[in-house]
Amino acid sequence: EPEVTQTPSHQVTQMGQEVILRCVPISNHLYFYWYRQILGQKVEFLVSFYNNEISEKSEIFDDRFSVERPDGSNFTLKIRSTKLEDSAMYFCASSGDGYQPQHFGDGTRLSIL
């Protein structure tokens, strides 16, 4: 069964540095999402992406965050000037259309030191 893959599984970065989290959605999917889960808390929506542009973003997704689909297969989340509070599990998800369930990757654990 096709799946969403995320790399790396764990990323450790110094505060203030930039980090890029990578995702390869399921190949025929058109809708892409990033979610965040701080340890012990609920999963929170960050951003949705369709047709090469952001469809919706939450208040968490401030101007330090950006997303890109550079080559038609990868979907990346970049965080500039990282803060301690960015430490969390980041999940990428994709769906074939807006009516289909979202399939999640295994997540990237981001640790900011």
Partner 1 sequence: AQTVTQSQPEMSVQEAETVTLSCTYDTSESDYYLFWYKQPPSRQMILVIRQEAYKQQNATENRFSVNFQKAAKSFSLKISDSQLGDAAMYFCACQTATGANSKLTFGKGITLSVRP
51 is an interface residue for partner 1 by CB under 8 A: yes
- Contact residue for partner 1 among 22, 25, 29, 33 (CB under 8 A): 33
Contact indicator for 48, 31 with CB cutoff of 8 Å: yes
Q: What is the CA radius of gyration of the chain?
A: 13
Contact indicator for 84, 72 with CB cutoff of 8 Å: no
CA 18 to chain centroid, in Å, comes to: 14
7 is an interface residue for partner 1 by CB under 8 A: no
CB of 16 to partner 1, least distance (A): 26
Q: What does the alpha-carbon distance between residue 92 and residue 100 come to, in Å, rounded to a whole number?
A: 15
**Tokens of residue 20, six digits:** 């890029």
CB of 53 to partner 1, least distance (A): 9
52 is an interface residue for partner 1 by CB under 8 A: no
- Contact residue for partner 1 among 79, 88, 102, 112 (CB under 8 A): 102
Residues facing residue 107 across a β-bridge: none
Give the footprint of partner 1 on this chain (CB under 8 A): 31, 33, 35, 37, 41-45, 48, 50-51, 55-56, 89, 91, 93, 95, 97-99, 101-104, 106-107, 109
